[in-house]
Amino acid sequence: MSILLRVEKLTKIFTAGGIFGSKMRVVAVNGISFECREGEILGIIGESGSGKTTTMKTILKLYKPTRGKIYFRGRDIWTIPNKEYYRHVQGVFQDPYSSINPVYRVRHLFDNIFDNLLEDVSLDERHEILSEVLDRVQLKAEEVLYKYSYELSGGQLQRVLLAACLLVDPELIIADEPTSMIDASMRVTILNVMRSLREEEGKSIIFITHDIGQAFYICDRLLVMRKGKIVEEGSAEEVVFHPQHPYTKRLIADVPKLGKKLILRR
């Protein structure tokens, strides 16, 4: 399998404060390297503050890296024009309420995609295509397209955002906790959609989550991040069944298993 995305010694430092005041430095991502291969689902696991969201936004060209390079199919992503890059790489952000502009109906998001990334689709075809992608995430076009974001539930919005990705049909989707607000019964259906994207269409997905159960269900490989660094990397089975790093060990041990009574640590 060829390499789709390569991240090389990526560091992202946020600074705040002016020239005169003392500067606040936060090292969000600290010299990480990894790659995502074609046709694989790569899971990035970490707790809040581990730098996984910063990593995602840097890959999506929303943050400029402080140090390090990111290559998509061997090309430095900053040499690829935005429009071209976003046709191949798309993302779903963590907070669905803030991801959709509150002043427009949901349809506006899809129209933005048509207008800027899919210019060759005629106006008449749009509705039919939208119905198709929404159907894949178990939504009905007439139930969501003409609503405002605050009229929909978090779970519905997350599915809308995933549908937007499906519409663009990129080679790589980076999804940050894309199912956090979806009910467990529906969540499996959505994870199955992602699985079939890989199995049937050979797409790659970077799945960012703190839920090891979900990651284990769909991911081929897992990266475990902590405080801006990758502490463990390997196939999903390796990482879950034979964790090496103490942090990973604790993380896996803390995952609730159905019906296993809590053993008190004292």
Partner 1 sequence: MLLRAINLKGGYEIRSGFVKAVDGCSLTLSEGEILGIIGESGCGKTTLGKLLMGFTMPPLKLLSGKVLISDIDLYSYDLENRRRFWGSLISMVPQYSMNALNPTIKIKDFIYDFLKQHKRDITREEALEIASVRLKSLNLSPSVLDMYPFELSGGMKQRVVIMISSLLNPKILICDEPTSALDVSTQRVLLELLYNMVKLEKIVSSMIIISHDVAAISQICDTLYVMYAGKIVEKGPLDEVLEEPLHPYTKALISCVLTPEERIRRSRITGLKGAPPNLLNPPAHCRFAARCPLAFSKCKQAEPPLMRIGNREVACWLFNGDER
Partner 2 sequence: MEGARGLMAEAIYALRSSPRLMIGVSIFSFYVMLAMIGPLLYPVDPRKPIFEHLQPPSPQHPLGTDVLGRDVFAQLIHGTYYSLKIGFMAAVIASILGIVIGGVGGYFGGVIDDLLTLITNIFLCVPTIALLVILAAYFRVRSEWIVILLLGITTWPSMARSIRSQILSLKVREFVDTAKLCGMSSLKILFREVLPNMLAYIVMYFILNIAIAIVSEAGLSAIGLGPTGIISLGMILRWAIVWEAVRYGAWWWFIPPGLSITLISLSLLMINDALDKLYNPRARTTR
How many Å apart are CA 37 and CA 172, to the nearest integer? 10
From residue 77 to residue 116, what is the string marking binding to partner 1 with x (rule CB under 8 A)? ----------------------------------------
Q: Where does residue 154 rank: exposed (0-12), middle (13-18), buried (19+ CB within 10 A)?
A: middle
Would you give the binding string for partner 2 spanning residues 110-149, x where CB under 8 A is met? --xx-xxx--------------------------------
Report 37-76 residues binding partner 2 (CB under 8 A): 57, 60-62
- Contact flag: residue 235 with partner 1 (CB under 8 A): no
Burial of 260 (0-12, 13-18, 19+ CB in 10 A): exposed
Residues 6+ apart with CB under 8 A from 54: 12, 28, 29, 63, 228
Residue 195 binding result from partner 1, partner 2, none, given CB thresholds of 5 to 8 Å by partner type: partner 1
Contact letters for partner 2, residues 83-112 (x by CB under 8 A): x--xx--xx-xxx--xxxxxxx----x--x
- Contact status, residue 236 vs residue 246, Cβ threshold 8 Å: no
Give the integer Cα–Cα distance in Å for 160 and 135: 10
149-208 residues in contact with partner 1 (CB under 8 A) are 153, 155, 183-192, 195
Q: Which does 19 bind (CB under 5 to 8 A by kind): partner 2, partner 1, none?
A: none
Rounded Cα gap, residues 165 and 89, in angstroms: 9
Distance, C-alpha 140 to centroid of its chain: 24
Signed CA dihedral, 183, 142, 125, 157: sign only: negative
What mask of x and - would describe binding to partner 1 in positions 39 to 58, judged by CB under 8 A? --------xx----------
Contacts with partner 2 by CB under 8 A lie at: 57, 60-62, 82-83, 86-87, 90-91, 93-95, 98-104, 109, 112-113, 115-117, 150, 161, 164
